């Protein structure tokens, strides 16, 4: 059972997006501004579409917070959709005065056709509105709550882009985590390598002129994570599995690796596994090929996970498709779209890693109040220092 529980609801062009979050201890300082920073970062990035010029996402804390502190009950979060004003005749809960034009030409790479068949919906807008990556707005909002909880325990989470198309960033490999975090936060593409960022922008520009799209890879990192989150005893308690599932459920993510990931399959074990030492005060590792997880348990090293995002599936030069009613060949439908959204996906990945770690933190340490949680964490860290 999840200890940090959450659900989202809402459609891309509906009245708004909502989230419910349960399990947050009482007494956690929380303001809307703690969440809005992540929402703003999700909307930025070279290669984003016109929707980002319409929406300026801001969260409203509807329940669960009083006087700037959580109460221990469920949190209710709301982000209105400004664009709904332009869609009132086509979206919303009330019956329409006249039927809106349906979406009947499914887009390859989207949930349009599979969802339409599954839910028996002839107007594929009923599927694409919920399948849209606009839903990740609320994942980032929930992640903002999780980040605040983790930060209270000294844990930081951030993400950065390491490739777009065939352009790879390399500078981050020689930088410390704090420098990578600061550089990526200041970058239009969340990239810590300025030279690579310029080449990434050129690649996005070229793809845009060709009516095409680009994907890429981002890396999410959590620092100061204590040893012992997750467990080896059951498959569903292994934290690396939970992290991988959280990343794979982000729209357009098609691959996940932790630590060395797929590279570990190409070299010998002596080059993969991290030697163990002790400095007189704590166990240490000279490297982090495991990505901070061994046997499904955090080992005290930074948690490092990478996710591969496919190119956006909505193309200005549409791929062939079939009209769902006539069954005749037709070009796929076109919805307003990004050219590249890897930077935005990195913010979502950061949020998802924070959510999973917050859940694992509460699973291990419990606590109905923040003070109780911090006592439990401090006591455990003392236990580790005496091992």
Q: How does 127-147 read in b/e, with b if 16+ C-beta sit within 10 Å?
A: bbbbbbbbbbbbbbbbbbbbb
- The burial of 354, by beta-carbon neighbours within 10 Å (0-12 exposed, 13-18 middle, 19 or more buried), is given as buried
Count of domains in the chain?
Answer: 1
Q: What was the pLDDT predicted at 357?
A: 98
- What is the bridge-based pairing of β-strands 16-22 and 75-80? antiparallel
Low-confidence ranges of the chain (pLDDT < 70): 48-55
Tokens for 301, please give them. Answer: 């090293």
In a 13 Å sphere around the CA of 85, the CA atoms on its Cβ side amount to 5
Provide the CATH number for the domain around residue 77.
3.60.150.10
Distance between CA atoms of residues 58 and 31, nearest Å: 12
Q: What was the pLDDT predicted at 46?
A: 84
Q: What was the pLDDT predicted at 42?
A: 95
Q: What was the pLDDT predicted at 49?
A: 64
Model confidence, pTM:
0.95
Dihedral angle, C-alpha 242, 375, 153, 384, nearest 10 °: -70
Distance between CA atoms of residues 229 and 363, nearest Å: 8
Q: What was the pLDDT predicted at 192?
A: 96
Selection from 24, 245, 13, 277 nearest residue 129 by Cα: 13
Three-state secondary structure string covering the chain:
CCCCEEEEECCCCCCEEEEEEECCCECCECCHHHHHHHHHHHHCCCCCCCHHHHCCCCCEEEECEECCEECCCCEEEEEECHHHHHCCCCCCCCCCCCCCCCCCCCCCCCCHHHHHHHHCCCCCHHHHHHHCHHHHHHHHHHHHHHHHHHHHCCCEEEEEEEEECCEECCHHHHCCHHHHHHHHHCCCCCCCCHHHHHHHHHHHHHHHHCCCCCCEEEEEEEECCCCCCECCCCHHHCHHHHHHHHHHCCCCEEEEEECCHHHHHHCCHHHCCCCCEECCCCEECCCCCCCCEECCEECCCCEEEEEEECCCCCCCCCCEEECCCCCCEEECCCCCCCCCCHHHHHHHHHHHHHHHHHHHHHHHHCCCEHHHHHHHHHHHHHHHHCC
Q: What was the pLDDT predicted at 47?
A: 76
Give just the sign of the alpha carbon dihedral 43, 49, 54, 55. Answer: negative
Q: What was the pLDDT predicted at 335?
A: 78
Other CB atoms closer than 10 Å to residue 208's CB: what's the count? 16
Distance between CA atoms of residues 134 and 355, nearest Å: 18
**Domain residue limits at 226:** 5-385
């Amino acid at each position: 059972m999840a200890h940090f529980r959450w659900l989202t609801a809402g459609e891309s062009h509906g009245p708004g997006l909502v989230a419910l979050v349960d399990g947050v201890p009482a007494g956690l300082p929380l303001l809307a501004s703690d969440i809005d920073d992540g929402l703003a970062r999700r909307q930025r990035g070279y290669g984003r579409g016109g929707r980002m010029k319409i929406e300026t996402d801001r969260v409203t804390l509807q329940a669960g917070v009083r006087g700037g502190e959580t109460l221990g009950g469920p949190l209710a979060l709301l982000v209105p959709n400004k664009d709904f004003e332009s869609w009132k005749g086509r979206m919303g809960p009330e019956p329409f005065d006249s039927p809106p034009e349906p979406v009947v030409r499914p887009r390859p790479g989207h949930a349009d056709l599979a969802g339409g068949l599954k839910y028996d919906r002839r107007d594929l807008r009923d599927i694409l509105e919920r399948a849209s990556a606009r839903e990740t707005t609320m994942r980032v909002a929930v992640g903002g709550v999780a980040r605040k909880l983790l930060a209270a325990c000294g844990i930081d989470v951030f993400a950065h882009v390491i490739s777009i198309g065939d352009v790879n960033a390399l500078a981050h490999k020689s930088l410390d985590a704090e420098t990578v975090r600061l550089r990526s936060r200041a970058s239009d593409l969340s990239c810590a390598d300025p030279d690579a960022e310029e080449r990434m922008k050129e690649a996005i520009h070229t793809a845009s002129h060709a009516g095409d799209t680009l994907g890429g890879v981002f890396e999410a990192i959590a620092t100061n994570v204590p040893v012992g989150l997750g467990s080896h005893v059951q498959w569903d308690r292994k934290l690396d599995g939970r992290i991988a599932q959280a990343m794979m459920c982000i729209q357009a993510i098609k691959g996940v690796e932790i630590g060395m990931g797929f590279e570990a399959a190409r070299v010998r074990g002596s080059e993969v596994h991290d030697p163990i030492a002790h400095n007189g005060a704590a166990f240490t590792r000279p490297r982090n090929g495991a990505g901070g997880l061994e046997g499904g348990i955090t080992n005290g090293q930074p948690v490092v996970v990478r996710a591969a995002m496919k190119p956006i599936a909505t193309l200005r030069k549409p791929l062939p498709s079939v009209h769902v009613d006539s069954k005749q060949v037709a070009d796929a439908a076109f919805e307003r779209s990004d050219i590249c959204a890897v930077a935005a996906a990195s913010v979502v990945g950061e949020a998802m890693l924070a959510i999973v770690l917050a859940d694992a933190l509460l699973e291990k340490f419990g606590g109905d109040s923040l003070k109780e949680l911090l006592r439990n964490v401090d006591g455990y860290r003392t236990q580790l220092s005496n091992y």
